A and B are shown apart, each in its own frame.
Chain A
Amino acid sequence: MQLTNFAYLGVLAFIVLGTVWLEFVIGARVLRKPKRLILSLIPVFTGLTIWDLYAISERHWWFNENYVTGLTIGVIPIEELLFFIITPTAMLYSFEAVRAVKQWQVGDEK
């Protein structure tokens, strides 16, 4: 395995680093609501995984073997599965960071 095999994982690491600091610096409380986070991710993760399974089996898209680790679960690269957890979480970070800064009511407050 070469360094280039970690390219996709590197992009994912960039997304994690680009968002998680919002938890501590801005007060976007996402990880501090772990149950709510997991329950939100489950249906989205499931839907995207089914989509990915279909798309990979129909060859809508595929992955350059030089840039992925080659680790898969079934036909799906682990990078894809991590993507389906990391990017929806990044969206929630953006949303909660805007809420923290703007102090807007969204409709889920006590």
Chain B
Amino acid sequence: MTYTQIGILAVGIAIFLDLVVLHTNILKKGIWWISYAIVISFQFITNGLLTGFAIVQYDPAFTIGSNFHSDRPPIFGDGRIFFAPAEDLMFGFAMCLSVVAIWIFLGSKGIQQTPISNTSEKMRNRFKFLR
């Protein structure tokens, strides 16, 4: 299998896990999309470093991109998004959704439901503009 195929499969498994197996339905909640949006923006930075400096290199035979980059890949184009192969977004999405779905599932089954995440009154007031 190629990286592209495994990536699509992993995304499918994660969605299946959330909606069908665990019934956590995280995908249908705003909290998922906000927190994932935060993570994906940092993913562009950290994964951009890992791939932009060619710390990790990819064989184009297994990705959407078709050229090998031993040095610096393009920031966009040739299957790259912020230096990283587009498949990395599938990898990240599958990983993030899976861990949150399992985390919420375990909580709903009574495993360490508390202490609930809760910021101080002072902080809450500071973040009032976000609510």
Main SS of the interface on chain B? helix
* B89 interface hit (Cβ, 8 Å): no
Assess whether A98 is in contact with B35, with CB atoms less than 8 Å apart.
yes
Assess whether A39 is in contact with B111, with CB atoms less than 8 Å apart.
yes
Q: Using a Cβ–Cβ cut-off of 8 Å, how many residues does chain B contribute to the interface with A?
A: 58
Hey, which chain A residues are within 8 Å of B35, CB to CB? 91, 94-95, 97-98
Hey, which chain A residues are within 8 Å of B123, CB to CB? 25-27, 101
Given A7-B53, A64-B54; A102-B130 close (CB under 8 Å): yes
Given contacts A96-B117, A101-B130, 6 further A-B contacts (CB under 8 A): A11-B55, A18-B42, A34-B112, A36-B112, A44-B102, A94-B36
Q: Which B residues are within 8 Å of any A CB, using their own CB?
A: 2-3, 6, 10, 24-26, 29-32, 34-36, 38-39, 42, 46, 49-50, 53-59, 62-63, 91-92, 95-96, 98-100, 102-108, 111-120, 123-124, 127, 130-131
